[in-house]
């Protein structure tokens, strides 16, 4: 976590932490901005399958996602920062999911919750289930489980906050909304005669390069 070109005059994060222990609060615009962003991640009020039940449980009093500033489930994608893909994405549903993602304003994040959203899960070999939502939209956090417990979702949210706090506001690693030639427009797959067209977004996802063992 260091600037691309740190100068000797610029305090590093370690310096700031040291000063904070001494009672001197020294911050930067970037840190303040990310601190605010990471503690008010508003998810989209959107559930797909049984993982959504766990997501609801996480938002209720026992697990209380409000402790992390994410209790404001927004009914409109225009107001949401985070989409939690909570459940099986069927091929019939996938274009709508991508459309929702396109309608969310930057900065936006995506959590793939559960085995189905990650890879198709137990339905991977079905003809009608998308084999992972990362074929169409970029996923920031993967939460394994079938379904993941609410604690796992909260942990995933904390990891996302960690990720947001680590983002630099300038340079090539800046979040997309601060980059010049960024696009919010991810191609929405069309319903084809046999499958979705295209079956994946090649700019986002390529199959892993595997070498099969001989004889296997």
Partner 1 sequence: METPDQIRDRLLARFPGAAVAVVANPGPAAQHSLLLGVAHARAIAEFLRDAPGLRLDFCSNVTGIDWLDREVTDVATTTTPDPAGGPAKVVEQKTKRLVPGRLEVVYHLYSVELKHGPVILRLRTENRSDRVTVPSLTPVWRSCEFQEREVFDLYGVVFEGHPDLRRILMWDEFKDHPMRKDYVEPDDYEWEPTPHGDVLARAKRHYPATEAAPKEEPKP
Stretch that binds partner 1, among 24-32, 67-75, 165-173, 200-208 (CB under 8 A): 200-208
- Cβ(128)–Cβ(91) below 8 Å: yes
Stretch that binds partner 1, among 42-50, 80-88, 171-179, 202-210 (CB under 8 A): 202-210
**Of residues 131, 133, 147, 161, which one binds partner 1 by CB under 8 A?**
131
R_g (Cα) of the chain, nearest Å: 19
| Token pair 């590093």: residue | 12
Nearer to partner 1 (CB atom), residue 128 or residue 173: 128
**Strand-pair partners of 143:** 113
Q: Determine, following the binding rule CB under 8 A, whether residue 191 of this chain makes contact with partner 1.
A: yes
Q: Determine, following the binding rule CB under 8 A, whether residue 125 of this chain makes contact with partner 1.
A: yes
Cis amide bond preceding 95, omega within 30: no
DSSP state of 199: S
Instruction: Give the count of beta carbons closer than 10 Å to the beta carbon of residue 205.
Output: 16
- Residue 25: strand, helix, or coil: coil
DSSP state of 2: -
DSSP state of 181: T
- Cβ(95)–Cβ(196) below 8 Å: yes
Distance in Å, CB of 73 to partner 1, minimum: 28
Nearer to partner 1 (CB atom), residue 146 or residue 158: 146
Site for partner 1 in 26-85 (CB under 8 A): none
**Of residues 14, 158, 195, 202, which one binds partner 1 by CB under 8 A?**
195
**Of residues 20, 39, 67, 92, which one binds partner 1 by CB under 8 A?**
92
Distance in Å, CB of 101 to partner 1, minimum: 19
Where do contacts with partner 1 occur on this chain (CB under 8 A)? Answer: 91-92, 124-125, 127-128, 131, 191-195, 199-200, 207-214, 216
């Amino acid at each position: 976590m260091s600037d691309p070109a740190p100068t000797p005059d610029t305090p590093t994060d370690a310096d700031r932490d040291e000063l904070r222990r001494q009672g001197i609060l020294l911050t930067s615009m970037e840190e303040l901005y990310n601190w605010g962003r990471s503690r008010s991640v508003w998810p989209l009020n959107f559930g797909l399958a049984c993982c959504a039940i766990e997501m609801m449980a996480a938002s209720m009093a026992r697990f209380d996602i409000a402790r992390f500033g994410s209790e404001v489930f927004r009914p409109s994608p225009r107001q949401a920062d985070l989409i939690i893909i909570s459940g099986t994405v069927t091929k019939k549903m996938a274009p709508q999911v991508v459309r929702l993602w396109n309608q969310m304003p930057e900065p936006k994040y995506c959590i793939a919750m559960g085995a189905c959203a990650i890879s198709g899960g137990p339905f991977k070999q079905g003809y009608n289930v998308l084999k992972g939502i990362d074929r169409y939209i970029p996923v920031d956090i993967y939460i394994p489980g079938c379904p993941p417990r609410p604690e796992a979702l909260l942990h995933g949210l904390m990891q996302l906050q960690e990720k947001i706090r680590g983002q630099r506001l300038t340079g090539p690693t800046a979040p997309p909304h601060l980059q010049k030639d960024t696009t919010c427009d991810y191609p929405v797959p069309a319903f084809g005669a046999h499958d979705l067209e295209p079956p994946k977004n090649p700019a986002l996802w390529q199959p892993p390069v595997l070498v099969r063992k001989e004889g296997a």
